[in-house]
Chain A
Amino acid sequence: MNRLVALVLLAMAWSAHAAEAQPEPLKLWHAYRGGEEAALLQATTLFTEKTGVRVDMLALPYDAYAAKLTNAIPHGAGPDVFIFNHERLRNFQGQNLLAPTTGTLVRADYFANTVAALEVDGQVYGYPMSLKSLALYVNTKLVPRPPTTTAELLALLPTLSNPAEGRFGLAYESGDFYFHAPFLFGFDGPLFDATGRASFDTPGMARSLAFVKKLQDERMMPQEVSGALVKTLFNDGRVAMTISGPWFAGEIAPSVRYRVVALPTVSETGTPMKPFLGVEAAFVSSRSEQSARAHELARFLSLGESSRVRTTVGRQIPANVAAYQFQEVKDDTLISSFREAAKDATPMPNTLEMARVWEPMKLTLRAVLQGGTRPEDAGALADRRYRALHRERPPEASPMPWLTLAGVMALGGGTAWVLRRPAQSQTFRQRYPDVSRAVTYVAPAAAGLLVLVFIPFAVGLTLSLFHHDAGQYTFVGLANFVDILASRGYSITEPLSFYFTLAVTLLWAVVNVVLHVSIGLGLALILKDPLLKMRGVYRVLLIIPWAVPNYITALMWKGMFHRQFGAINGLLVALDLEPVSWFTRFSTAFAANVATNTWLGFPFMMVVALGALQSIPPELYEAAEVDGASKWTQFRRITLPLLKPAMLPAVILGSVWTFNMFNIIYLVSGGEPGGATDILVSEAFRWAFQRNEQYGFAAAYSVLIFVVLMGWSVFTRRLMKPEEAS
């Protein structure tokens, strides 16, 4: 009887506990910053107040966001709800990352085109939150009457521009296709042909590029413009107009008076410059364990109070029709201006094809605006790059021969080992009585190696035999290697070719190591002199480049190499020399990379050389001097040979580091021009994360890098042998 009472009490306690237990918080991922992030936080707080469900927000860097989602969600490590633009929709949907909104989404709540943008095969995925499109920001003090046509714009710009004073009529991120699209559509250029394939080589493309090139050539617009630069120039009143989206409003200084108007109409065609319409939506993950709650959150974020907060705090243009009934939203001219501007906007296709447009277009824009490519040739350039990047899936291969081969080799190896093993008179335990302790000592390091080296290596090796497309892995055997080594799709003199990149990489490694060693050794020789005053101070100063994280140095040098605002061109101009457009030619872009990496690399060599120099007994020099050696002979016959044992490993280490020096290439030249300065690792990175997620292809690249470095290490071991022997 007592036992029964106890059991009942226990059950009651348990159920009470269960009722009190909070539901798992919903995970919400986004890539917002500043006002938009604050607005989202307010909106989720409202949600928590209303439903009692907590929300964990995670902000991700935009560059890595898509890759993170496609990797995390299939493994159940992703968010319940995430905010993304609709451009990637078909990609995500193809990988089964999204839950459809059937039954919960009411079409009438949103503008029709925003819902249409989220439709795939009749199903709607995601809740439209906001519109994004471009419009013209005008500094009203400088431009009282905004231009409505390109003719008016062309007439107005010269009066506003004075390159000598650093003033320009217009500045926008001209190297980014998102910003160029309005020009393309304004000049009646289609982006896709009748079959839905991207088409670049069109008259509209040529004319739109020629128009923008003219603006830049006539100094009405600055070159190599970044978002940060636009912000600075517009806030300083040095740029009268800019093309940007609603997010830019939050970056304008309070003192600047401005208006937002629709982009002008192209006078030649009579077509308005139509920007892309982007729809940001709250998507529900297909793997969410709290699907109902997740849908509730996503829908909540897209409607009602949330839209009001996102509009007023986050400066977003809501997709929710009802939001425009709020007084604050009605009164907000910026919001309504953008709503007006978005009317002409072309909804950005949510197809995979769209995702493939960016890199070829980026290349083309750079080639025209910074390089010497003529606008009429640019389309063909983009088309070729497009075809090279989006290679067809190689024919599927059967893994059976491979598995059989692996099996046979394992079996053969095992048999050989068993047969060739010398006969043991003692058991293993007898021979190694302390084996368990030995294993304990070795195990942590072995486990670390296994997890950090061997497993990733095996996975990479395996991956190189597969083709990846939108979450689908297909076994293709050696096709990736064949394509790389046969340079299929592009000649071997093109930057995309493996051989071209390999040559650049080798050149990169050799030039860098030679400079590092010679500069490092030279400085070490100077610093060694005991008569040098303030030796310690110089030594510390010279080691500083090494102590600064290399990506910070890389970003500083990148800034110094800027065409118009960089310190190096400033110096050239001060010396009455022509400024150099560093990243438009291979030689200068490569030189910029080398300069940066040399700055980073010489201190290591200097420290090694200094240590080695100081370990050479001074009597050797005296003996040589008495023996009849000049200073130069002493350096050649005594210093160099005695430095060799210390410098050779440093040189080998340095060459491998340089060979794989991703940071500098990625951050300084970014592979410009047209991927020519990319080295093998940065090329592999681009194949994996910037070109349709061709993981298999990228893995094959990595394997080839491994083979090259393996060969190098075998070679250098030979070099080191005589040193060790003596």
Chain B
Amino acid sequence: MSEVTLNGIKKSFGSNLIVKGVDLQVGQGEFLVMVGPSGCGKTTLLRLIAGLEQVDAGEVRIGGARVNDVPPRDRDVAMVFQSYALYPHMTVRENLAFGLTLRKFPQAEIASRVDEVAAMLELGHLLERKPKALSGGQRQRVAMGRAIVRRPKVFLFDEPLSNLDTALRVQMRGELARLHRRLGATMIYVTHDQVEAMTLATRVAVFNAGVLQQVGPPLELYNRPANRFVAGFLGSPAMNFLEARRDGANLVGKGFTLLSPADLSPGAANVLVGLRPQDLRVAALGPLAGTVDAVERLGFDGYAFVNTESGPVAARFDKGTQVSVGDKVFLAPMADALHVFTEDGSVALRHPVERESLEVAS
């Protein structure tokens, strides 16, 4: 039993309210990724779970037991720090064995576990070195190994990949995913990198300003964001938002008129239309028009950043399309691409019907 439950967690530092009442359930064996911009409270939440900080209000439960007043060492969690926090005066072997030694495991048990983890993470030849003599990726693996070797109920990761270069990060991402499959342990992972969130998580929790915005499987969050913040945070380039007003069967904004989706429930006159750049094409004709401000070519396709009357809008173009800065272009949405939010962006009113589910349905 190693699920983690957060009930009404509040935490402030001085007069700064950092976590503003979070309720969250992390199930046994789940890989939950907490994302959000800097200062959104995700790292604080992780430290509250670890017991490195005390909650001001609310309840932390690990494996069903309330752990608010339990010190970190008795919570049976392991944490991998952003800076790795390896003990510089100990060898890799001693670093790995430290937690087991303190818990008075028999020597033989310690040795076999360390060797097992070293083999798993390919650290075998580094065991007698000190952290100073390791590369960044190797240190990262030692930090990971130090957590794994203890076989804790819950793994906590605090931006563990942010100090690695891109290639190493991709590789470690893969290893982490494999590790999770292999261990099947509960893992809570903090990052500000949405790619890590999308690729690793079984569920993603998006935070902003100390408030949990939405939690769910990555694609659900991508396809059905609960509000403007989640919609804008996941996906790159970010979703375009256009102010519009209902006008019969149309949504009319500055310089554009779009056909209102049939399933859009009636409501307030003013709405916010969300269009992912991937769902918008540079075309010969379309409902939106503007001047190209910048172009990003990615090889197979590219994105054009276009100044329209309703503000800047990003749109995809295919390999064959000629787009240059200064061109007057038209933008056409793909079929059923419209996300609609309330005017203030706090609630989503409709989402496009997912293509995958359409395919499944057909």
Contacts and interface: CB of A to CB of B under 8 A. Distances in A.
A627 B102 CA distance: 8
A633 B103 CA distance: 12
A493 interface: no
B72 A625 contact: yes
Interface stretch (B82-90, B259-267, B273-281, B346-354): B82-90
Contacts of B73: 625-630
A638 B88 CA distance: 9
A511 interface: no
B87 A620 contact: yes
B102 A619 contact: no
A296 interface: no
Given A625-B52, A625-B73, A629-B73, A642 B98 contact: no
Contacts of A627: 73, 78, 98-99, 102, 146, 150
A623 interface: yes
Given A617-B85, A637-B87, 19 more contacts: A620-B85, A622-B50, A622-B79, A625-B72, A626-B50, A626-B51, A626-B52, A626-B77, A626-B78, A627-B73, A627-B78, A627-B99, A627-B146, A628-B73, A628-B102, A630-B73, A633-B102, A638-B87, A644-B89
B166 to A, nearest CB: 24
Interface string A639-674: 001101000000000000000000000000000000
A626 B143 CA distance: 13
B105 to A, nearest CB: 11
Contacts of A628: 73, 99, 102-103
A102 interface: no
B6 to A, nearest CB: 18
A625 B71 contact: yes
Nearest to A618: B85
Closest 7 CB pairs between A and B? A619-B85, A627-B99, A623-B85, A628-B73, A641-B89, A628-B102, A625-B72
Nearest to A625: B72
A320 B102 CA distance: 90
10 contacts: A617-B85, A620-B87, A622-B52, A622-B81, A626-B52, A627-B150, A628-B99, A628-B102, A629-B98, A637-B98
A191 B321 CA distance: 123
B135 to A, nearest CB: 17
Contacts of A638: 87
Interface residues of B, number: 24
Contacts of A623: 79, 81, 85-87, 146
A440 interface: no
- Most A Cβ at <10 Å: residue of B79, B85, B99, B130: B85
Contacts of B81: 619, 622-623
A617 B83 contact: yes
A641 B72 CA distance: 23
A22 interface: no
A630 B88 CA distance: 19
Contacts of A620: 85, 87
A624 interface: yes
A641 B88 CA distance: 9
A472 interface: no
A440 B87 CA distance: 47
- Most B Cβ at <10 Å: residue of A626, A628, A633, A637: A626
A625 B99 CA distance: 9
B328 interface: no
Nearest to B102: A628
Contacts of A622: 50, 52, 72, 79, 81, 85
Contacts of B72: 622, 625-626
B79 A626 contact: yes
B132 interface: yes
B188 to A, nearest CB: 13
A295 B207 CA distance: 101
Nearest to B83: A619
A623 B146 CA distance: 10
Contacts of B79: 622-623, 626
A208 B52 CA distance: 77
A316 B12 CA distance: 82
B41 to A, nearest CB: 18
Contacts of B150: 627
Interface string B120-150: 0000000000101000000000000010001
A638 B81 CA distance: 17
B139 to A, nearest CB: 13
Contacts of B86: 623
Interface in B135-194: 146, 150
Nearest to B77: A626
- Most B Cβ at <10 Å: residue of A617, A637, A642: A637
A622 B73 CA distance: 10
A626 B154 CA distance: 12
B99 to A, nearest CB: 4
B312 to A, nearest CB: 41
A422 B10 CA distance: 77
Nearest to B82: A619
Contacts of A625: 51-52, 71-73
A369 to B, nearest CB: 57
Contacts of A642: 88-89
Contacts of A637: 87, 98
A423 to B, nearest CB: 40
Nearest to B98: A627
A713 to B, nearest CB: 24
